[in-house]
Structure formats: structure tokens, C-alpha cells
Amino acid sequence: LTVASKILGDSAKLALHLVGYEQDVCRAIKFVFGNKLICPDARTAKEVTFDQKVCMKSVTQDGNIYNPSGTLSGSSKPSTLGILIKVQELKKVEGFLKDHQSKLEVIK
């Protein structure tokens, strides 16, 4: 992230810093958003995603996803679709976390 900041200044943000969440779901939020950058445009996303020192998945404000593996997705989908998928992933992780917290309480 430090390298990305040096390359792009303030134009790219860590997705984790752009979402609000309750502390009890912190681990789930970090799992879903922790290693993704939000970039204002495709040029910025390409520059940071494919930099050898950064290699982080980036999402443009238009919803295009750039992956260091070389894949691009999202350009033909509505930008809200990506958000819905993330919400589904978050719900799944929250359920997983809740189950494990219950098991931990039983062990205690």
C-alpha cells in the first residue's frame, strides 16, 4: 500500500478505509475488502494493479475489476452487481464467523 501511495498519491484508496462497519464484523470486512484498491479510472487501476511492487486487485469507480493475474471484469455488468456479490460474500463470512464464535463459547 505504501508503494501504491507513492505511485498514485491520494487517487487510489484502500477499499477497507471507505466502508463503515461495526467492530464485531471487523474480521469479515477485512476478509472481503482488505486487499482491494478503489481507483478513480482505468488508467490508475492498471498502473497500480500491474506494478510489480504492488500487485493488488483494483476496482474502478465504474465497477471494472483489474486483477494482477491479468483478468479484467465488470465492464459489461452494472456497477451495482459487484456490490451485491460483495454483500453476499459478507453475509456468508458473517455466518461463518458467528458459527465459530458459538463453538468457541461452548469450548470456554
Fold of 2-107: Alpha-Beta Plaits (3.30.70)
**Domain positions in the chain:** 2-107
Q: Please say whether the beta carbons of 72 and 78 come within 8 A.
A: no
The pTM of the whole model exceeds 0.75: no
List the one residue out of 16, 15, 94 whose CA is nearest residue 58: 15
pLDDT band at 4 (very low <50, low <70, confident <90, very high): low
| pLDDT greater at residue 95 or residue 6 | 95
Has residue 68 got a pLDDT over 70?
yes
107 vs 78, residue with greater confidence: 107
Q: How far apart are CA 42 and CA 94, in angstroms?
A: 31
- Please tell me the predicted confidence (pLDDT) of residue 97: 92
